[in-house]
Amino acid sequence: MRASKLLGNLCAAAWLGAIGSAFMVVFASIFYFFTSPTDFDKERHPEKEGTWLLFTGYGWMKAAAILAVLALIFYVMESVSKKVEDAADAEQRQRDEKERQERAAREQDASRQQQLKNSIENANATALRMLNSLPDDLANAVAALERADVDWKERVYNPFWNSVEECACHLDAYKKAVQEIDSCADRYKDAARDYNGQVPPFAVSSISLESLQSYAAISDAMAKYTRRAQGDRDFAQIFEMWRGNAIMERGFANLQTAVRQVGAQISSQISALSSSIDGIAGSIDNQSHSMIASINRQSAMQSEHHSNLERSLNASQQHEKQIAKRLWNIEHGYKSMF
């Protein structure tokens, strides 16, 4: 039981005792009056007196006064004790609230860090998937051009332009893959900037940038095929009327627009990706320099984790080199007639 509660109970008991004692003053006086001897009895028994209840009236008055004083003392002590307890309770509530806020902040930060980690991993996974798709997109574009060459020789108009359209669609897919890698690079950089842990390397580095230019020879060959066919009246007539659904679904007004723009769009996306990768390299370098001292002081387990990151970086670079080699082989394996 709290001290203020105990003192409150004592105060209440003292007040009740004081009130009871005051009542007993009256009751004892009445009882004394009725038990007092009459004048006749006093003459016969002068020593006989009235009877008091336990105490005399004065005794009950003194008891009432003492209990009233005790009640006041207990009341004052209760008030002081309650103030002290209220102050202690308020201080405890402040400590509890501070701990709750700190715990909530830690949980929020942990959740935020997990979200950043997931964002980094998702950006890497998506970028890697897009990087892996580039050789297939380029190989399909080459295959379409080779069919266009056959169609030209056989003088079949619609299949020829259909093959050119298919080539443009595959190059547009190539462009969108590069665009998605650039978007992943931006998400990776934003997440890595605020992530407190060791950041795994981005799935695409400067190793891939030069090999991405492999599209240029294919795009140029497609443009030359188109220009040559436009010089032929029969092929040109079909070309002017060509409104392929596939090319329009990719956002181009017509095949002529696609042939003219897709190469420039890919070049623009590669330039944007190059800037993003440079930004990632600078951001990660700064972060690495700031973490060197703490990494050197980390435990063996964390050092092993750092070694795992290095192995991951080496594996990522090896994979990029393989993709670059595939793109280079596709580019140089295609023998254009121009």
**Domain limits of the chain?**
3-102, 119-333
- The average pLDDT across 293-308 equals 50
H helix or E strand, kind and range, residue 36: none
Token pair recorded at residue 6 = 């105990």
Alpha helix stretches (DSSP H) within the chain: 3-35, 39-44, 57-154, 157-194, 206-212, 215-230, 233-241, 245-249, 255-296, 300-333
In 3-state terms, what secondary structure has residue 141?
helix
Segment 240-284, tens digit of pLDDT: 776 667 777 788 877 888 888 999 999 999 999 999 998 887 665
Highest-confidence segment of 125-129, 290-294, 329-333: 125-129
Instruction: Please give the angle made by the CA atoms of 105, 106 and 108, to the nearest 5 degrees.
Output: 65
**pLDDT greater at residue 164 or residue 64:** 164
pTM of the model: 0.70
- Interacting residues of 313 by C-beta distance below 8 A, sequence separation 6+: 200, 201
Segment 128-179, tens digit of pLDDT: 999 999 999 999 999 999 999 999 999 998 899 899 999 999 999 999 999 9
CB-CB contact of 189 with 279 (8 Å): yes
- Answer yes or no: is pLDDT of 125 > 80: yes
Q: Which of 63-77, 166-180, 191-205, 296-310 shows the lowest mean pLDDT across its residues?
A: 296-310
**pLDDT greater at residue 297 or residue 262:** 262
- Answer yes or no: is pLDDT of 119 > 80: yes
Provide the pLDDT for residue 254: 78
- Answer yes or no: is pLDDT of 207 > 90: no
CA distance 81 to 87: 10
CA distance 34 to 218: 132
Provide the pLDDT for residue 292: 42
Provide the pLDDT for residue 55: 63
Segment 15-60, tens digit of pLDDT: 898 888 788 777 777 766 666 555 544 455 455 454 555 666 678 7
Provide the pLDDT for residue 296: 46
Provide the pLDDT for residue 288: 47
Radius of gyration of the chain (CA): 48
Q: Which long-range contacts (CB under 8 A, 24 or more apart) does 144-150 make?
A: 144/170, 145/218, 145/221, 145/222, 145/225, 145/334, 145/336, 146/334, 148/225, 149/225, 149/337
Provide the pLDDT for residue 163: 92
The per-residue pLDDT of the chain, averaged, comes to 82
CA distance 317 to 205: 8
Provide the pLDDT for residue 22: 83
**pLDDT greater at residue 47 or residue 220:** 220
Token pair recorded at residue 101 = 């806020």
CA distance 165 to 59: 120
Backbone angles phi, psi at 337, to 5 degrees: -80, -5
- The average pLDDT across 291-306 equals 47
